[in-house]
Amino acid sequence: MPPTPRPHAFHLQLPPHHRAAKDDQGSDLGGLPYITIHAYNKSQSIWKLVKSLEVGVCLYCEVAAKKERDNKYVEDDDGSDEVDDGEEGPKTMLELVKRCSRLHTQLTSLYALKHNGFTQFELCQIILKVLTLLSATVDVRVKKGNSTHDGVSGDDACVEVQQSVSAMVIDDTLTAHENKQQQGRTVSLHFDDMGCIVGGKFTDEEESDSMIKTLSDGRRVIDLGECNDSNIIYNDDSAIELNFNQAQQHLEQDLSRPLALPSPAREALLSVALLLLSKKEQLRSVSNSAIFRKKATDKHDEDRWMLILNWRSLLRMLLRTAPYLDEHKVGTPPMDSSSRTNAVLKRTVKLIRSSRRFFDQGIRPPDYNGQFVTSPDATARLLWFNLKSDLLYHTHSNSCFRALILLYLFHPSKCSSSFYLEVMPQWMSSWSNVDRCPEFDFLWMVMFCRARKFVGRKEYNWGGLRKLLLTHAGYWLQIPVGGVSSDKSFPRVGRAGKRSFPRSLKLFVGTDSSYEEGIDFVAKVTKLLMHCSGPHDTAGIGNVHGEFDMGCENDTEHPEMIVSEGTADILRFFLFVKPYFNPSNVGAWTFPLGAFLHYLSYELCHRIGIIAALKTLKRDHADAYSQLIIEEPYLDCINIPGHEVVAYLDNLLPLCQQALYSKNGTVSHAGETALLYLAQVDPARVSPPMIDFSLRALGVSSVNLSHQAPAAISALSRLLQPALRHEPSIILSRLPEMLQLTLAGIDSNDQNKTTRTLIFYRNLLMWIPCGGTIPLPHINQDEVVDNSGHDGIIRVGKNLMDSRYSIVASSSYDKAMNALSPNSVFTESEVKGSQSTEILMQEAMMAMSDWSLSFLDRIFELLRAAGEQEKHGKLYGPGSSHASADVALAKNVSRILKETLTFFFASMDEETYSSALRYVTNFISEETLPFAVKDASILCQAVALTRFDQNGVDRSPGLDALVTILTENLEHRSNKSAIYRLRCLAGAVRYSGRTLLAHRNKISFAIAYTISKADDKVLLKTGCKLLRHTLASQCEEYPIAQCLHPMRVNDECNLTALGASVRLKGDRVLWHIPSGEQIDFCVGLLDRFALAPLKDLGKVDNKFNLNQWRQCLRLLRYSLRGCIGLLLDDAPDAILSQEGENCPREKATAVLIKLASAESNKILYGLRKRLCLRLIDIMSLIASDTVDYESKLNGLENGGKKKKTTPLSTDPKVCSEVMELSDLLLTRRGAHHKSANSKSIWRGQKEILSDFVLSSMSNYIMTFRSRLNDDLFRGANSYYKDGEDGGKTISRALLVTRIDLVMQSLTGTASTQIPRRLRKLRGPPSVHARAHLFSMEMTFETLKSNLVSDVEPVYALEAYEGLIDSLCAMACHPNINVRGDAIGIGKLASHFTWTGSKSKPDLLHIIPPQ
């Protein structure tokens, strides 16, 4: 493992207390972020876990299967991350399955931490180890004459070696057989040779810690652990001479053995293999797509090595998984569920497809035995030789379809040009033999897509393929051809039928649904069509003056303006289908044509990006670039002339305009994205006419086009960033009109239009500030680095944007653009003045300042028009689904409104903010809107967000202005008015930072006022929310909102270009970090409003009051939701001093708690355990009172006397509060815990802003560097690609949000990390027996005494286990709603995996025999 990991840039941007002290964690890890140390330790644990995975014969012995391991602690029972050094392999099959599942879980969580975890060499070893386990088969033979039983003899063992040979080709199988002879049977294990590592020079440390061994011929293969060298046999191809019948017999014998691993283990390991093979950047340099310099003078080529996987072994695995691939075979009776069977098969298919990059094509590292290519196209030629007869001569048969599927699955990712030129005519012949079969067409298109990279455009005539695609496009896209006559006497030809693959073979194609299958089909069609366009296809036939007029008189005057045949055919096809894009022309063809337009525009965008990337590579890596052209000949002719790009744009943009207004919402969205792709090709010329086109639909004169407004606003959102980045004047000159026309989009009567308008404003505020720039605080803005000076940031190339825009700066492009006809869309835009960018910027900022108040007016009107929102649970029956949809839609609108208002106030300068704050303050003070209380709370939250002062300290002027208004004369207001103002106050304090301390008395008074009015349930709930938000704002870390501002300048006035991707380097994120005073305030609130009332319930003189119990438990629940992150399981010093175990969130919280006073530390110490014990007591009482409740109620016990039970036990509200509190204590480690949904939303927002030309460009350059064996991809570290030179197009707001999501994910994962850490620290059951805290002997008097008495210390994990036992008892409650809530404890299984099996005996013991 690497001695010192390098943190990701996101790790370094976390708050300072998330770093270990320099003298902590050892000399190497000191000073690193806790999350980096945690990822490093997790990768070491995974490495040990992989090495411990072994499949031995003992797993299949009857005695071993029943053997009890009483004296050994099994780590797999608790799902712990660690595997002790030198631990033996699994002794039972169940233990093996658990380890496989744990490997998948831990590997997934490791990659979520932004850390690769393994070097290139280690990654390849894990792949070989996992594939070897997946290929293992078992052979159990029963001896004849033994008719009694299959016992086990203790010491009898024999070793038997057999050879298996594939029928396709003489096999090179590596088999390791282990036989254990028992009474009457022999168990044999067989391992296929899944691959090897060839070449390379590794250090002694790498060799000693590896899982491989070196053979005599230099190959490195996986070491099978238990097997000795004498048990491993390498079959020499030259030494085996078998005829076909013998080979077939050996294959049948080989395939007759079942797979050794059970389906759950195989499912987990298949997921692991897919996850590892998805790390393409790390593995490209060891795959058959690696680029080796012919002149091996570069230092990176001195120790090159390759990973080779055996395709025959994968084929045998596939045939064992799905024997029915051969129509003459049937599988064994199903032993698993259909879902698991399908999952295993789909993952096996994906595994084979992902392994194609590593099949042996005869390529070797330059220094490997002095040979660079040993046997060209070895796998590809062998595969085609065995399949071509079925494909060419057995058409329309199962064997033909099966052969094509095998070719699709096993064809290597890289073949030579000579091979493709040899087989492509035969492929075309096989394709043409079967018509109107979509699956057959799709697979052949995939094969030609693979071939296109390695066949030069001058070497093969792609015209035949292009014409075939365009001929069948009418059928594929469901375009109606021919009319229908009203004369019934005229004969009508029936629609031609279509063929399909047998249902049993469709799973091997790899698509998950019919929708995905159709989308992939259209994507392949457009990919091939775009490849067939451009020069060097065939002689040009389309001229610039005829069908595609570019303004020339004749062809001889401008020979360079001739459109190539491929481009002409595609444009001619679009002229044919243009009427079908009309918004009113709706039919079966609408969606396929929309998808076709979307993907063709993307392919054009992608090709422009590759052309720009090649220019950069030619400039920066000239030597390697020449080798790349040799490896992929098609790159020599990939360039599209400028006039052809203009022809594409001129013909596709009108189709985008029509698709934008389609009645089909999906097609309208496809039109938006297609418009974005085309605008990113040339923003300066495409954006102005498209923006003007959208604005026309928003004008007053377009009252009859009001239905087009939502689509037009969405188009503006898409076009904003490309135009702003390339030519800011395009947006700035139109910004005042744009702001004025879009304001009407905020309409309370049209939720769809309102949502799209808010999204437009959200995107606008990401790039353009509202009022002007703001200065950065006077703090150290240097690069955030680790101890070694690394900042976790990389750059893909230099000046990528210059290369990107140079494509549309050629002379042919300018000539063609100037020669367009007057009817072209490019001539529709009007010129907007000629002022300088500085003047336009000043005017735009003034317009934004003026617009801000108008925007707030529209928001106020939206709040005034709000009605009562539907909630879950109000409706039952048929209307419930509609109510749920309404709730989901309302939540989505509220989320978008919250994001828009957050960006709105965060992007303001001080002057504009002051004006807007006064405006909001007046609105809040003058009006009370009970139905709009939630959105009004969002408004107050946004205006009170933290801003930083000149020293970088957070402050909240918004809270200063609102607190007095919202807390004034509460006792003299009506309940509705008080609820409205307190709810607004709860929103205002949520992210207000340390400013809240100045108003602690007023806020505490407001909370106390609501508690005193406990009779009003709504008022009490509002006070509980205020308490929760107050606690969360003071004890949680969150970014200062003003960091989202798009234009922050330092003392040198360095200003990022408008619309440019923000850079993380040199611009650190500022955080609100709780101080000791804030934590003391939180502890005081918790003690006053939650802990003290809880103790009051236990006083002797306190009479039982059910409402008092409900109120107390509710206050406790809301308090914990706000400050549960402060409740640790041990003292802060004890947590910080622990070595080996590392939960980043827990250690960072311990650092914060040490800042608090001694009194606060005293209250917090052990509080989590005490609360768990009190909840256990309450649930014990409930269980004691309600067990066999009907008998007690009827007096059938105790001699016919009815037992008196406490109303507490039968009250569903108390039971619900207790269970929710248990859920909080078991699963929450902070107020922010749901980051998964936020990540999905963030990805969607990022997708809208992505520059796909730049993204394609950077991805291609990164792929090139990884194929060259760049040092960046050989280590275990992960880096952030920063700025435009990193291929990013991201705003400052989204970048800060993403880093905040990293922080939230730490809180979410802590809920599973901490229980497992406690489990490991406690030790095995033989050392520390589990204490049973749940008791059926609890009485109400005992409960009251426990509430006021000091409890004896108990281990935290025992308290959690007691809670789970108590929740199991609640699942037996007589109330059906309580039982239903308690059954939901199944979600806790991932946090406490070991409690399930241990709770069953306890539950059975509790249930009385009768």
| Model confidence at 11: pLDDT above 70 | yes
Torsion (CA) 565, 571, 573, 579 in degrees, nearest 10:
-160
Higher-pLDDT residue of 1362, 68: 1362
Q: Say yes or no to pLDDT of 745 above 60.
A: yes
pLDDT, mean of residues 77-95: 61
pLDDT > 70: what percent of the chain?
81
Higher-confidence residue of 31 and 1197: namely 31
Most confident stretch, 68-72, 210-214, 476-480: 476-480
Q: Find the mean pLDDT for residues 508-526.
A: 83
More confident residue, 579 or 365: 579
Bridge-based pairing state of the strands 137-142 and 185-190: antiparallel
Asked whether the predicted pLDDT for residue 78 surpasses 60, the reply is no
Q: Reply yes or no on whether the pLDDT at 259 is more than 50.
A: yes
Give whole-number Cα distances, 810 to 615, 664, 743, 817, 916, in Å.
Answer: 14, 38, 40, 11, 48
Structure confidence at residue 171 (pLDDT): 36
Tokens 């709040």 found at: 863
Q: Please state, in angstroms and rounded to a whole number, the distance separating the CA atoms of residues 709 and 1073.
A: 44
Stretch 779-808: mean pLDDT, rounded?
A: 82
Please give the pLDDT value at position 878. Answer: 45
In a 10 Å sphere around its CB, with 0-12 CB exposed, 13-18 middle and 19+ buried, how is residue 410 labelled? buried
- Can you tell me the distance from the alpha carbon of 1288 to that of 1266, in angstroms, rounded to the nearest whole number? 18
The per-residue pLDDT for 1400 is 58
Q: Name the least confident of 261-265, 497-501, 1095-1099, 1350-1354.
A: 1350-1354
766: pLDDT strictly greater than 80: yes
CB 1366 within 8 A of CB 1173: no
Residue 681 pLDDT more than 90?
yes
Residue 557 has pLDDT above 60, yes or no: no
Residue 821 has pLDDT above 80, yes or no: yes
Q: Which of 1207, 1210, 1213 is nearest to 1187 (CA)?
A: 1210
Residues 24-36, mean pLDDT to the nearest whole number: 76
| Selected residue with higher pLDDT from 17 and 485 | 17
Sheet of strand 185-190: strand arrangement: 137-142, 185-190, 179-182
| Whether pLDDT at 630 is above 80 | yes
Q: Which pLDDT score is estimated for 939? A: 96
| Of 92-106, 646-660, 1041-1055, minimum mean pLDDT range | 1041-1055
- 352 pLDDT more than 60: yes
Q: What is the pLDDT of residue 705?
A: 67
**Rounded Cα distance, 90 and 865, in Å:** 66
Supply the pLDDT for residue 898.
95
Report the C-alpha gap between 203 and 198 in whole angstroms. 15
pLDDT in tens, 1163-1196: 999 999 999 999 999 999 998 888 765 555 555 4
Q: What is the pLDDT of residue 416?
A: 92
User: Is the model more confident about 335 or about 317?
Assistant: 317
Task: Say if residues 222 and 128 touch (Cβ distance below 8 Å).
Answer: yes
- Report, in this order, helix, strand and coil percent for the chain, each rounded to 5: 60, 5, 35
Non-local CB neighbours of 1266 within 8 Å, separated by 6+ positions: 280, 281, 282, 284, 285, 1272, 1273
Q: pLDDT-based confidence at 468, cuts 50/70/90?
A: very high
As a whole number of angstroms, the distance between CA 1029 and CA 991 comes to: 8
Residue type at position 873? G
The phi-psi region of residue 316 (left if phi > 0; otherwise alpha if psi is between -120 and 50; otherwise beta) is: alpha
What single-letter DSSP state applies at residue 495? P
Residue 712 has a pLDDT of 93
Name the residue with higher pLDDT: 789 or 128: 128
pLDDT band at 244; cut points 50, 70, 90: low
pLDDT band at 880; cut points 50, 70, 90:
very low
Q: Which three-class secondary structure state does DSSP give residue 394? A: coil
Q: Which of 57-71, 324-338, 590-604, 615-629 has the lowest mean pLDDT?
A: 57-71
- Report the pLDDT value the prediction gives residue 541, as an integer from 0 to 100: 38
Whether the per-residue pLDDT at 150 is higher than 70: the answer is: no
Please, which pLDDT band fits residue 238 given cuts at 50, 70 and 90? very low
For residue 1270, CA distances in Å to 284, 822, 1097 come to 10, 51, 67
SS3 268: helix
Has this prediction a pTM greater than 0.85? yes
Checking if the pLDDT of 549 tops 50, the result is: no
pLDDT of residue 544: 39
